[in-house]
């Protein structure tokens, strides 16, 4: 049984884009699973399956890519009300190339690829919801991409600090550095100013 504060928060999340009656919500939720993860647990592991897409009720995760040199590149932090997965693997039903790791204890609703496709097919409204979500995810990534090409490291650091001040309280500086694509030494030298 899913706690009512979770279903209520999820309903609110859906209602940012579509109208949802209580019975519809119940139907939608029947496609999802409720799960809890502890700090340091993995939602997804490289080489394993990326069976689920996760909506975070609470907690904090990082998804990252590990290069040949063994260096981690953080692609995304996800927190309350965000979605996360290894979408390349999820959509193509191939083994994951990313890890998704809990930085804090995390509570989620998650949906398998199969269920997601079924839900979209059976409920036009939800296809609409996920289309809109995909669009805004694309825009967010594009903004981040342009930011990384256009601004220097200091500017990117300042922008992140301005946009997500809370993040700096919740994760080690080394994670911020990895997210910005610089070494922690370089990041450290920026803090001066």
For residues 161 and 176, what is the distance between their CA atoms, to the nearest angstrom? 10
Residue 75 interaction partner, one of a copy of itself, DNA, none, beta carbon < 5-8 Å per kind: a copy of itself
For residues 123 and 24, what is the distance between their CA atoms, to the nearest angstrom? 9
Considering only CA atoms, which of 129, 127, 108 is closest in space to residue 60? Answer: 108
Could you say whether residue 192 binds DNA (CB under 7 A)? yes
CB of residue 188 to DNA, shortest distance in Å: 3
Which residues partner with 35 through β-bridges? 108
CB of residue 184 to a copy of itself, shortest distance in Å: 15
**Quick one: tokens of 40?**
């340091």
Helix or strand or coil: residue 67? coil
Under rule CB under 8 A, which residues in 71-110 are in contact with a copy of itself? 73, 75, 87-88, 91-92
Under rule CB under 7 A, which residues in 43-72 are in contact with DNA? none
Residue 120 interaction partner, one of DNA, a copy of itself, none, beta carbon < 5-8 Å per kind: a copy of itself
- Residue from 11, 46, 144, 154 binding a copy of itself (CB under 8 A): 144
Nearer to a copy of itself (CB atom), residue 21 or residue 150: 150
**Quick one: tokens of 8?**
């209520």
Could you say whether residue 155 binds a copy of itself (CB under 8 A)? no
Could you say whether residue 16 binds a copy of itself (CB under 8 A)? no
- Residue from 41, 94, 114, 148 binding a copy of itself (CB under 8 A): 148
Residue 95 interaction partner, one of a copy of itself, DNA, none, beta carbon < 5-8 Å per kind: none
Angle of helix 124-150 relative to helix 113-122, nearest 10 degrees, comes to 120
Q: Name the phi and psi angles at 44, rounded to 5.
A: -140, 140
For residues 63 and 124, what is the distance between their CA atoms, to the nearest angstrom? 30
The Cα-based distances of 98 to 13, 35, 50 in angstroms read: 26, 20, 9
Q: Where do contacts with DNA occur on this chain (CB under 7 A)?
A: 152-154, 172-174, 181-189, 191-192
Q: Where do contacts with a copy of itself occur on this chain (CB under 8 A)?
A: 65, 67, 73, 75, 87-88, 91-92, 120-121, 124, 127-128, 130-131, 134-139, 141-146, 148-150, 181
């Amino acid at each position: 049984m899913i706690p009512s504060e979770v279903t209520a928060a999820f309903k609110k999340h859906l209602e940012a884009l579509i109208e949802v009656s209580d019975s519809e919500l119940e139907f939608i939720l029947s496609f999802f699973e409720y799960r809890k993860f502890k700090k340091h647990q993995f939602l997804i592991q490289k080489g394993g399956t990326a069976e689920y897409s996760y909506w975070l009720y609470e907690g904090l995760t990082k998804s990252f890519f590990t290069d040949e040199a063994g260096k981690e590149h953080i692609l995304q932090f996800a927190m309350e009300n965000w979605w996360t997965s290894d979408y390349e693997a999820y959509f193509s039903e191939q083994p994951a190339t990313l890890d998704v790791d809990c930085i804090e204890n995390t509570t989620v609703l998650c949906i398998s690829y199969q269920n997601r496709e079924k839900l979209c097919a059976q409920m036009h409204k939800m296809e609409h919801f996920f289309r809109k979500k995909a669009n805004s995810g694309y825009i967010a990534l594009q903004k981040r991409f342009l930011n990384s090409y256009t601004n220097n490291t200091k500017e990117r650091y300042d922008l992140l600090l301005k946009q997500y001040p809370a993040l700096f309280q919740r994760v080690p500086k080394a994670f911020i550095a990895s997210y910005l694509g610089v070494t922690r030494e370089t990041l450290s030298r920026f803090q001066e100013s």
